[in-house]
Structure 1
């Protein structure tokens, strides 16, 4: 399959490119800088600049582009970048797809989204049919997903990848926690009662491949594991596997002092289940936290 992909240099994108290539797919990487190799092509999503011929050559488009949510303190300027980097990339791709003739359009657009769509659900279990919640990330997810509509209206299969928290020692939720845990100065965040919608990295990758191939699946899909846990449970299991204590809780006020606006999101409870994947009989290889954490730390 010929795949046009944006967001190739991120935590998830680099791994997905490697898997797609290993599986025999031809991947053209969209980059914002001058190309450095034969498989790269430049685009400028902030100015809606993308060569339609690149899209017309693709069987599928995968878009994971977006500034990292936890990479920096949330200033007003960075919050705008979080929003614009997602919406501009998605809108540019979707509008370009819609502008092609029916024969030239790709078969599918797999577009990143996030479980931030649901906001704070507390202890309430939600699946893909739940409405958007409240808060900054919920608002971002709403406009982000809406930006895919031109492609969907043009008859292209659109899958919105509502990604949870993939586990891997090199990034995401896990990496910033490893040093404090190893030093014995870690603990639960806030009350610890908030739910964490984790997923193993291998299952996230397998789920994307699964959705790429399943022509009968479209719309929002929760990319989360089947067994969410609370922050307190996650903390205990990570401490057990690292053989370190985790007895120093980090109060909400301290988080806010360090993280600013992102602290509220770090304390948000999102109890999400993979409804679409479950109904489609997707098989999770690492369905529970102990096995997923072990793989994240050692594989």
Structure 2
């Protein structure tokens, strides 16, 4: 297959490139720094403009994972603008390009996030649940998905991937948590009762590959493990895996003061169920958190 990716140099994109390169697919990555793509993305070819693919053989699939990091800076007005442009505006440009092709790519898998649901409290959330709407992160995901959905008008099958925090050994959420936890300085966030969906990087890649090759799969899919845990349980399991105490909770007021509205990402949560992935016949390699963290943090 000829696959076009956005966000190919990110955590999930690089893992996908390694997976699909081993399968022999031809990979193109739309990037601000196309010269870096071959080294970062397992030999994929980088392009600075989508028009570079015009006149070439048609693309068989588009995987849209682009987006500036959601949790690296406070949601100031300039940061919100960057987050919107890197997700919503970029997706609009991508879908418009797809619609202009003589042969429209038959499938678009487009990123979203579990933040689509906002803070769901104690209710179970499946793909049929309503969006959060109240915070910026939820509104961002809603607009992001709406732009991707427009590709259906051109005849593409559209898959919306509502991804939970991805667990990987040297990047993502674990890269931020491990330094304090290894020093014994980790702890719960707020009261620790908020639900924390998660997914192992290997299952994230396998799910995207499964949805790519399943022609009947379309619409939203919760990309998360079947076992959802509260923050307090996640904290306990991570500390136990590292053989360290976790005795320093961070009060909710301190997180709200430091993060502003962005504190919803750590004080809110989603009690999420991957209902549609299960119905699509997907099998998780790492369905439970203790084994997943044990595998990720095992000595090389």
Cα distance change on mapping 1:50 and 1:141 into 2, 3 Å: farther
Between Structure 1 and Structure 2, how many residues are aligned?
A: 292
Per-residue CA deviations over 1:109-141 (Å, capped at 9, x if unaligned) read 011011111111111011111121121111000
CA contact (8 A) 1:55 1:97 kept: no
CA contact (8 A) 1:181 1:246 kept: yes
Q: Which has the higher helix share?
A: 2
CA contact (8 A) 1:196 1:228 kept: yes
> Under a length normalisation based on structure 1, what TM-score does the superposition of the two structures give?
0.93
Per-residue CA deviations over 1:239-294 (Å, capped at 9, x if unaligned) read 00001001211101221333333222211121111111111121111110111111
Per-residue CA deviations over 1:82-108 (Å, capped at 9, x if unaligned) read 11100122111111112223xx11110
Cα distance change on mapping 1:143 and 1:209 into 2, 3 Å: same
2: CA distance between counterparts of 1:34 and 1:179? 32
Q: For 1:117-136, list aligned pairs within 5 A.
A: 117-133=116-132, 134-136=134-136
Structure 2 gaps of 5+ residues are: 39-43
Which residue is equivalent to 1:81? 82
> Under a length normalisation based on structure 2, what TM-score does the superposition of the two structures give?
0.92
What SS does the corresponding residue of 1:158 show, helix, strand or coil?
strand
What SS does the corresponding residue of 2:63 show, helix, strand or coil?
strand
Which residue is equivalent to 1:46? none
CA contact (8 A) 2:166 2:201 kept: yes
Are positions 1:193 and 2:209 aligned together? Answer: no
1: CA distance between counterparts of 2:291 and 2:56? 39
| RMSD value, Cα | 1.7
Q: For 1:102-141, list aligned pairs within 5 A.
A: 104-133=103-132, 134-141=134-141
Q: For 1:218-297, list aligned pairs within 5 A.
A: 218-297=218-297
Measured after TM superposition, the shift of residue 50 of structure 1 is 4.2
What SS does the corresponding residue of 1:13 show, helix, strand or coil?
helix
Measured after TM superposition, the shift of residue 182 of structure 1 is 1.1
2: CA distance between counterparts of 1:52 and 1:150? 21
